[in-house]
């Protein structure tokens, strides 16, 4: 039976082991948030770049355990808390036709990413990672999917590349897609569906949608939230593929079998369900969203510190072409569907 003295000793040991890495990740996240607020750029990208500038800390044995903890466990907590962004009522408000097409578009984009990844000579998991980031919610989806994928020496460089790529493309789309919506003659409803269905990160969707009109911004946000809700089934797919991969590689017997759904995916679903009841006070919901954002930014900083720039510099043109093709495919899907009146 644990005594207070034993618990105190364990806490001190954990603080000494993980504290330095957690602290430096937190400080970097605060700096990234301040820079993003000042310059109006994606906070995840700032966190990643600042983290990469502090890469030498990952070689420090005092910081390494804490950085690993933030990059894995704190990341999972942030993903679980994303469930506080969504309610079932918001999804239902879109109508079955629009909601059904959004779900279909997410699935087709991920399928496109997997097929193109195999054609380019990459693993299925890289196609799922990039396709999921493009199809669902940008950097947050990339971090969530990476957390559910098997260990691999190139996993963190692939995650960093995906975050950089999806952040850059999302910013570009935020500028271009309102112009495209106007050029195609979309009304406010159609423009909102197009922007919410095609831009990667939530912040850029909001910026682009409300730059057109209040109605377009509201519709874009609803469509985007439905895409965020698709994170749960796609994480389940990633977990299932991971189990199959580990079984094929003979790794399943080396430890306890992982659950079909990671705990953070279960937490995500549970929070969506609780949030949908309307029982949670607004302060709790807003606080959870703030904690989620802080966890994701800190984990992105830690991942940046654990990544070597030379690994990113050698990716070549194929991964870039893959993400651009996935982005173009998603935009084409929605553009054709809206012009044809399917949505």
Q: Tally the domains of the chain.
A: 1
Q: Residue 118: inside a domain, yes or no? A: yes
The pTM of this model reads: 0.81
Question: Would you say residue 6 lies in a domain?
Answer: no
Q: Identify the pLDDT of residue 310.
A: 67
Of residues 42 and 216, the one with the higher pLDDT is 216
Region of poorest pLDDT, from 124-128, 152-156, 231-235, 236-240: 152-156
- Look at the block and give the residue holding tokens 């409300």: 210
Query: Structural domain of residue 274, as residue ranges?
Result: 19-340
Residue 33 within any structural domain of the chain: yes
Cα distance between residue 128 and residue 264, in whole Å: 18
Residue 284 lies in a domain: yes
What is the rounded CA–CA span in Å between residue 60 and residue 55?
10
Tokens matching residue 183: 């050029």
* Cα distances (Å, whole numbers) of residue 207 to 85, 257, 334: 17, 43, 19
Question: Considering the domain boundaries, does residue 131 fall inside one?
Answer: yes
Specify the higher pLDDT residue, 333 or 311.
Answer: 333
3-state helix, strand, coil in the chain (%, to 5): 80, 0, 20
Is residue 207 situated within a structural domain?
yes
For residues 72-101, average pLDDT: 86
Residue 257's contacts (CB-CB under 8 Å, 6 or more residues apart) are 243
Lowest mean pLDDT among 35-39, 44-48, 183-187, 233-237: 44-48
Residue with tokens 């089934």: 233
Segment 4-20 shows an average pLDDT of 77
Considering the domain boundaries, does residue 5 fall inside one? no
Report which DSSP code applies to 40: T
Bigger pLDDT: 220 vs 11? 220
pLDDT at 8: 72
CA angle 335, 341, 343 (to 5 degrees): 75
Give per-residue pLDDT as tens, 171-212. 889 889 999 999 999 999 999 999 999 999 887 888 888 888
Count other Cβ atoms within 10 Å, centred on residue 331: 19
């Amino acid at each position: 039976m644990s005594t207070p003295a034993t618990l105190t000793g364990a806490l001190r040991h954990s603080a000494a082991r993980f504290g330095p890495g957690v602290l430096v990740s937190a400080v970097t996240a605060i700096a990234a948030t301040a820079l993003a607020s000042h310059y109006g750029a994606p906070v995840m990208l700032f966190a990643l770049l600042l983290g990469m500038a502090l890469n030498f800390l990952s070689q420090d044995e005092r910081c390494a355990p804490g950085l690993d903890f933030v990059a894995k466990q704190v990341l999972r907590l942030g993903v679980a808390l994303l469930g506080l962004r969504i309610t079932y009522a918001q999804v239902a408000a879109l109508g079955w036709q629009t909601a059904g097409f959004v779900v279909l578009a997410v699935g087709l984009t991920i399928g496109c990413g997997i097929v193109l990844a195999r054609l380019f000579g990459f693993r299925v998991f890289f196609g799922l990672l990039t396709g999921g980031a493009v199809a669902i919610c940008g950097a947050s989806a990339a971090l969530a999917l990476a957390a559910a994928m098997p260990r691999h020496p190139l996993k963190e460089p692939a995650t960093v590349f995906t975050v950089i790529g999806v952040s850059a493309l999302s910013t570009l789309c935020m500028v271009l897609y309102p112009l495209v919506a106007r050029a195609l003659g979309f009304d406010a409803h159609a423009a909102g569906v197009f922007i919410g269905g095609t831009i990667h990160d939530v912040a850029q969707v909001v910026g682009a949608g409300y730059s057109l009109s209040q109605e377009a911004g509201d519709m874009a946000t609803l469509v985007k939230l439905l895409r965020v809700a698709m994170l749960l089934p796609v994480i389940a797919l990633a977990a299932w593929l991971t189990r199959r991969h580990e079984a094929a590689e003979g790794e399943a017997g080396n430890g306890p079998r992982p659950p079909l759904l990671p705990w953070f995916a279960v937490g995500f679903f549970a929070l969506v369900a609780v949030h949908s009841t309307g029982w949670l006070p607004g302060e709790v919901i807003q606080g959870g969203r703030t904690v989620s954002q802080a966890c994701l930014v800190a984990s992105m900083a830690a991942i940046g510190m654990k990544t070597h720039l030379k690994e990113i510099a050698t990716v070549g043109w194929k991964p870039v072409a893959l993400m651009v093709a996935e982005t173009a495919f998603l935009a084409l899907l929605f553009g054709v569907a809206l012009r044809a009146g399917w949505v």
